[in-house]
Structure 1
Amino acid sequence: MNERDFADLAVGHALNALSEADERAYQEALAGNPQWDHHVRGAVDTVAALSASIEPVEPPSAVRASLLARISELPQESAEPRDARTSAEEEDFAAAGIAPAAIVREPVALRSSARTGWGTKRWFALAASFAAVLVLGFGAVTVSQFFAPPAAVVALQQIEDAPDAQSASATMADGTVATAHWSPSTGQSVLVADGMPELADGTTYELWFVRGETPIAAGIFQPDADGKATAVLQGEMQVGDVIAVTIEPAGGSPDGTPSTDPVVAVATA
């Protein structure tokens, strides 16, 4: 099993949607490749985030009526009549006694050399199931949003998987730790923080590459309700840059330069 197949199984495991064979293959692959556990954490975090961020909605009463109507239209199978036996045949069976039943055991594959069945058809069925759930109660979320992780999460994963991945951290005045992740080979950099203070209305956090004495705008971001943020820096970082964050008016600094002192600055050299 390759890492991409394992990543697919990790999503199915997080959704509790694997068959027994797939679950067994997943556990064996994880035991043999513990370095793949970041796929497990990512899948679990994504499912948990979706579950926590969406309020359930009571489905309309018409949905139940429509489903029952559709069920009533399905052809119903009638019970097949029991084969008639003559009294003589029954007597013969009684005389012969009870014949031992042959036990048939299907072989179980303990290890899969290719994909373990979590393929296109399974994904299509799972997506269809989610589509039904979304129609009934989660109208604000689309299937594509569920299966497509945010760009910042994808970038962070690519950085962490790169052989030249690096990181550095700095602590904000309130104790919040911000960590910059970057990789020269991918040309990407991401800032991750947990517990950033909530901003006043009309303001936003802005990222900067500070190159020598020159600040270079690298995008804006807003933490979630818990103060967590994973933000991609726009542009390519250079060796020795400092990654800084300032508080700016909504939309970012109007003149392209910081209007406040940095709330955090992460040295990358």
Structure 2
Amino acid sequence: MNEREFADLAAGHALNALSDADERAYQEALASNPHWESHVRDAAEAIAALSAVIEPVDPPPSVRASLMARIADVPQQAVGPVTTPDVDRDDEDYAAAGPAPVVPDATSSRPASWGRRRWFTLAASIVAVLVLGFGAASFGQYLTRPAAVIALQQIESAPDAQSASVSMPDGGSATAHWSASTGQSVLVTDGMPALSDDQTYELWFVRGETPIAAGIFETDADGRATAMLDGEFHSGDVIAVTVEPAGGSPDGTPSSAPVVAVATA
């Protein structure tokens, strides 16, 4: 089994869609190649991201007919031997390459259900395109969105979503978005001043009189950033930003006055 084939198995494992034979092959390959674990993490994170932001949709009856028609048009058996070039597997883009072709091989140690797993991969891909309406590039971009962007969408979809904005003396602005039901909060900035290399912006929850560190962030050349606060948001928190030494406050408390402070109560 090569690495691309293992990546396909990892996707099936994350979906709980492997047969018993394929699950054994997956576990054996992972035990023999622990450096392939990144595919396991990537598949699990992709499924978690999808389940968090996509509502279940019942596909129309036409989807099944279209799917079966597509499958019927795909050859089910390769003719003749197939060879693959000797490439550096570490540099291969598995997502762009797509599933490896199914090639009957009398000497192969693959489980008998391997072909059925390929059909599952094909069917799942077709359904994703038909139901969600995503192209391959859009789907890849969707899965690789930053965590802060995903959190912002979840906040905006929550029934108790709220936001508030403040302006800074130099013309910059910052908008805090929060939802008590999700426990998430995100700060979106525009036009914040650039900092020197030995400084960074740090986020804080100010809860009563107590500042709680909530992560550091950087802005782009235009002072823009979408930063998710680490930790759970509580109703009434003040969302603040200070300028700290690179890496964040060394003692876990603000070392300067806030340049942004957004009240959420």
TM-score (norm 1): 0.48
Select the structure of larger CA radius of gyration: 1
TM-score, structure 2 as length reference: 0.49
